[in-house]
Amino acid sequence: MSNKRYTFLIDTNLDLASTTPGWPETFARLCIDAEDTTDLEYMDAQLEEQIPDIAFMPSGDYHRLQRVGKCGYRGLAIPTSKMTGQPAVPSVVVVKHDDPAESLLDLRGATFGYINRSCTSCYFAAGVMLAQHNEDSRQFLKLQKTPPWQGQIDAVKSGEVRVTLVPEDVWKSDEENAKDTKVIGRWDDGVPGFVVARNDIDEAACDEFVKALVRWQPPWSNLYGPFKPFFLADVHRFFHAMDALPEGF
């Protein structure tokens, strides 16, 4: 990037961390000081104040900040689906295999497993799907936090929650999921998290970092596949869908 040092705030729920193999050396070479967090309220506050130079953040939170006019960041890179190689990650509605529900609309009052209120693939996905039917997911469902990704599906299997939404890649990654659970709906406009840079950082200064992200080959166990450069065309349907959410969502 340059001799200037840059700060990089990372939501480690997205399967990248300051200690991920290969990255400490890359951060040192590019003069990047990386900070890990799973505290999304802290991350939102930091980004509202435009403190980090760059961040890897949930796409839903990026839209939320943009919607209220507090987003001083632009997209640099976006992960891809490890199944398709595309920067689109559909979410699927998952219930037990013998659940009589045929769609999310059949589940009024059901316990819904979600990670946090920043999660695009579960919290925002449910919000968008129900908003299309003039329903507010925060009243329609009983929200209950669970461990992320496979942990959400395991919570359905155990009966801790009745329903969840997860990235389709997560559900497909374990063949046992298709034996014990089933998919009864999907949201196709979901996208992964974004790597963003503050608007005042020169594009040329970010080029090497974007190249490093694109070169990285995540292990198959990761949530996402490789990164690609960020293009608005890849996320405009997602932004349009998110615009339909109730104010303050």
Per-residue pLDDT of the chain (249 residues; tens, 9 = 90+): 557 899 999 999 999 999 999 999 999 999 999 999 999 999 999 999 999 999 999 999 999 999 989 899 999 999 999 999 999 999 999 999 999 999 999 999 999 999 999 999 999 999 999 999 999 999 999 999 999 999 999 999 999 999 999 999 999 999 999 999 999 999 999 999 999 999 999 888 899 999 999 999 999 999 999 999 999 999 999 999 999 898 888
Q: What pLDDT does 248 receive?
A: 81
- Same domain for 181 and 96, yes or no, is yes
Q: What pLDDT does 244 receive?
A: 87
Q: What pLDDT does 43 receive?
A: 96
- What's the CATH number where 35 sits? 3.40.190.10
Supply angle C-alpha 47, 3, 26, rounded to 5. Answer: 70
Residue that finishes a domain, picked among 187, 205, 225: 187
C-beta of residue 180 within 8 angstroms of C-beta of residue 160 = no
Q: What pLDDT does 1 receive?
A: 59
Contacts of 30 (CB under 8 A, 6+ apart): 1, 6, 208, 209, 212
Specify the amino acid at residue 31. Answer: C
- Same domain for 99 and 148, yes or no, is yes
Q: What pLDDT does 14 receive?
A: 93
Helix runs in 92-149, H state only = 125-131, 137-140
- Same domain for 37 and 80, yes or no, is yes
Domains in the chain: how many in total? 2
* Structure token pair of residue 24: 């400490």
Q: What pLDDT does 239 receive?
A: 94
Domain that holds residue 173: 91-187
